Amino acid sequence: MSEAYVKSETHQGITTIEFFHPKGNSLPGKILEEIAKEIHFAGTHSETKVIVLKSAGDGAFCAGASFDELISIKTEAEGLKFFSGFAQIINAVRKCPKFVIGRIQGQSVGGGVGLVAAVDYAIALEKAEVRLSELTFGIGPFVIGLAVERKIGVSAFSSLAIDATGWRNSEWAKRKGLFSEVHENVNNMDESIRRLANHLMHYNPETMAEMKKMFWKGTENWDELLKERATISGRLILSSYSKKAIEKLLAEKVKS
């Protein structure tokens, strides 16, 4: 596989949305937009009873924002548009009347942690570490921070965001509530996802929709709040600090 993609398929009431990018399943704007669209469509699709969000391969679940795209941002408007992509995914899950299960097979960085936090139920492998690296390149986890803080609380979120070079293991993530389950191998993880999805597709859709409203209570202002956060990130990514830090990271990747 060399071309980035987002694809969706529905089988017996379970819609699986899979994304891929050759650079660690990172997230350029187009991928963000397509994931959000697929989640929104599945939420309105009468045949869909439950959604599984996954990435391809056996490496990283998601390396976060695309550095190639970040370095190309030249204006605050462009920055707002890019970071709004993360807001669109969070809002798509938040408003979706169906439960979204996350399949987390590897490491999640930055925006990838935001995806994990946004899903309703994350099932992960033991090797699935997490890190919020935004501070290292001059911005903070402003957009995804809303979803992460909601899931794990202010204290754990602030620790993760401040220690921007430190990884937290799957045990930490489960203890803090970011992961719902952790499994030692892929077979056990996938079997647990199948079991849960198969149960959910037989439950009352109206009941599950009402439960989603209950679980996301207090987020009714997130359309506006996420846009405000995206504006902050869109401004900060233009700083000389951010540009130099990203250029250095890209140069190091080329050397390696």
In-domain check, residue 154: yes
Looking at residue 140, which CATH number applies to its domain?
Answer: 3.90.226.10
**Distance of alpha carbon 59 from its chain centroid, rounded?**
16
pLDDT digits (tens, 9 = 90+) for 141-172: 999 999 999 999 999 999 999 999 999 999 99
CA distance 256 to 250: 10
- pLDDT band for position 250 (cuts 50, 70, 90): confident
Instruction: Indicate whether 113 belongs to any domain.
Output: yes
What confidence category does residue 134 fall into, taking pLDDT thresholds of 50, 70 and 90? very high
131 lies in some domain: yes
**231 falls within a domain:** no
pLDDT at 253: 75
Determine, yes or no, domain membership for 185. Answer: yes
Instruction: For 82-127, write each residue's pLDDT tens digit.
Output: 999 999 999 999 999 999 999 999 999 999 999 999 999 999 999 9
What is the domain extent for residue 130?
5-189
* CA gap 223, 84 in Å, rounded: 10
Whether the predicted pLDDT of 7 surpasses 80: yes
The burial of 10, by beta-carbon neighbours within 10 Å (0-12 exposed, 13-18 middle, 19 or more buried), is given as middle
Taking the C-alpha atoms of residue 162 and residue 140, their distance in angstroms, rounded to an integer, is 9
H/E segment holding residue 214: helix 205-215
Q: Enter the tokens of residue 202.
A: 């037989």
The number of C-alpha atoms within 13 Å of 174 and in the hemisphere containing its C-beta is 14
- pTM equals 0.96
Q: Is residue 206 part of a domain?
A: no
The whole-number pLDDT of residue 249 equals 86
pLDDT at 255 over 80: no
Residue whose tokens read 């956060």: 229
> Is residue 84 in a domain?
yes
Total of domains in the chain: 1
Q: What is the pLDDT of residues 171-227, one digit of tens each?
A: 999 999 999 999 999 999 999 999 999 999 999 999 999 999 999 999 999 999 999
The phi and psi torsions of 97 (rounded to 5 degrees) equal -80, 0
The answer to whether the beta carbons of residues 85 and 32 sit under 8 Å apart is yes
Residues in a beta bridge with 131: 109
Count CB-CB contacts under 10 A for residue 150: 20
- CA-to-CA distance for 225 and 254, rounded, in angstroms? 37
Residue 110 lies in a domain: yes
